[in-house]
């Protein structure tokens, strides 16, 4: 049922998203050692993060006020006008090697690839003028994001049933269209061919990470082959911590996920950057180039 039709016959506006896990989902609830569990709070958290990557707001206080208006918060004790519901529980108990490029004793519980989750996004009809924007941000997230543990390295990749791209150019055009509909496309240069999808025209000016660039690597016959490439890229390119480290704390600026395009599975690498000197040194650029080379991005 379309969003418009739902609004006509109900006090609540709804949209169902059918998501298929392209790679194993490592997400947990109350009993992480016993079972993996797909959880709505995690979905909301990742949507909130990706919403932030499109907010070129340099003032943290202003950003927080806007974010709480969209997603709720404790400052003014307000709730988000949009809620999410999981139609049926989605769980799994398979032990997964989250470092597929090597043998690892750390094997948390996971939900199998090819599992489908149905999420309902809904709001009261009085808020339906904003509903399409939430819908667009959700679609943006579904182009680039994974969910759960090791989401930055390809695990928890989800594909929305309406995303059926025949080639890389269709993927790039689809992402560009979403950014244009959101009114946030102007800061980016878009590319019609090659492995680069988009690149920010000017350096980031915000203290929080914002969208900087997107690449598509070499397609593989199976998603596990892409996961292995991500693991190898992290091992080879991040020996010095320039692409993420624990001490000092530096979250990886490269988000890696997997999407089915045509008959193959492709690595999608998204770079986020903040106003930070760590992104401007030659060592970071060198290691990023090596990472992209390993996953099959031609730069």
Q: How confident is the model over 272-281, as pLDDT tens digits?
A: 999 998 888 8
Question: What is the mean pLDDT of the segment spanning 235-262?
Answer: 93
Are 118 and 86 in contact by the 8 Å Cβ rule? The answer is: yes
pLDDT higher for 81 or 213?
213
List 210's β-bridge partners, or say none.
273
Quick check: 7 pLDDT over 60?
Answer: no
Place of tokens 């920010």: 200
Question: What is the mean pLDDT of the segment spanning 246-255?
Answer: 91
Quick check: 220 pLDDT over 80?
Answer: yes
Tell me the pLDDT band of 10, cut-offs 50, 70 and 90: low
Q: What is the pLDDT of residue 130?
A: 80
Number of Cβ within 10 Å of residue 87's Cβ equals 13
Q: What is the 3-state secondary structure (H, E, C) of the chain?
A: CCHHHHHHHCCEEEEEEEEEECCCECCCCCCCCCCEECCHHHHHHHHHHHHHCCCCCCCHHHHHHHHHHHHEECCCCEECCEEEEECCCCEECEECCCCCCCCCCCCCEEECCCCEEEEEEEEEHHHHHHHHHHHHHHHHHHHHCECCCCCCECCCEEEECCCCECCHHHHHHHHHHHHHHHCCCCCEEECCCCCEEEEECCCCCCCCCEEEEEEECCCECCHHHHHHHHHHHHHHHCCCCCCCECCCCECCCEEEEEEEECCEEEEEEEEEECCCHHHCCHHHHHHHHHHHHHCCCCC
Least confident segment among 10-19, 233-242, 262-271: 10-19
Q: What is the pLDDT of residue 91?
A: 95
Q: What is the pLDDT of residue 275?
A: 94
Least confident segment among 20-29, 159-168, 189-198, 288-297: 189-198
Quick check: 156 pLDDT over 90?
Answer: yes
pLDDT higher for 97 or 215?
215
Q: How far apart are CA 196 and CA 297, in angstroms?
A: 8
Q: What is the pLDDT of residue 6?
A: 47
- Checking DSSP bridges between strand 12-21 and strand 116-124, what pairing results, if any? antiparallel
Tokens of 94: 């398979």
Q: What is the pLDDT of residue 133?
A: 92
Are 108 and 97 in contact by the 8 Å Cβ rule? The answer is: no
pLDDT higher for 105 or 81?
81
Tell me the pLDDT band of 160, cut-offs 50, 70 and 90: very high
Quick check: 254 pLDDT over 80?
Answer: yes
Q: What is the pLDDT of residue 201?
A: 97
- Write down the pTM of the prediction: 0.92
Number of Cβ within 10 Å of residue 273's Cβ equals 20
Tell me the pLDDT band of 101, cut-offs 50, 70 and 90: confident
CA 47 from chain center: how many Å?
8
Tell me the pLDDT band of 76, cut-offs 50, 70 and 90: low
- Using CB atoms within 10 A of its CB, is residue 79 exposed (0-12), middle (13-18) or buried (19+)? exposed
Question: What is the mean pLDDT of the segment spanning 258-269?
Answer: 98
């Amino acid at each position: 049922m379309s969003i418009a039709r739902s609004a006509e016959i109900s006090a609540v506006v709804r949209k169902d998203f059918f998501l298929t896990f392209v790679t194993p989902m490592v997400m947990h609830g109350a009993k992480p050692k016993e079972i993996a569990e797909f959880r709505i709070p995690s979905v909301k958290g990742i949507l909130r993060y990706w919403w932030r990557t499109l907010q070129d707001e340099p003032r943290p206080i202003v950003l927080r006020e806007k974010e709480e208006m969209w997603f709720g918060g404790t400052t003014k004790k307000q709730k988000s006008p949009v809620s999410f519901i999981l139609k049926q529980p989605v769980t799994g108990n398979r032990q997964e090697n989250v470092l597929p490029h090597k043998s690892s004793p750390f094997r948390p519980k996971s939900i199998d690839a090819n599992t489908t989750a149905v999420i309902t996004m809904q709001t009261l009809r009085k808020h339906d003028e904003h509903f399409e924007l939430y819908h667009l941000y959700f679609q943006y997230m579904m182009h680039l994001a994974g969910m759960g543990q090791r989401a930055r390295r390809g695990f928890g990749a989800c594909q929305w049933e309406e995303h059926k791209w025949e080639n890389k150019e269709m993927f790039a055009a689809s992402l560009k269209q979403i950014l244009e509909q959101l009114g946030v496309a102007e800061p980016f240069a878009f590319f019609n061919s090659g492995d680069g999808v988009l690149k920010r025209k000017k350096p980031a000016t915000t203290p929080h990470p914002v969208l900087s660039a997107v690449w598509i690597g070499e397609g593989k016959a199976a998603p596990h082959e892409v996961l292995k490439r991500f693991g190898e890229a992290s091992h080879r390119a991040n020996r010095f911590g320039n692409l993420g480290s624990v001490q000092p704390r530096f979250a990886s600026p490269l988000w890696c996920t997997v999407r089915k395009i045509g008959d193959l599975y492709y690595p999608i690498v998204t770079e986020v950057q903040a106003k930070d000197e760590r992104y401007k040194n030659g060592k970071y650029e060198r290691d990023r180039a090596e990472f992209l080379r390993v996953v099959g991005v031609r730069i």
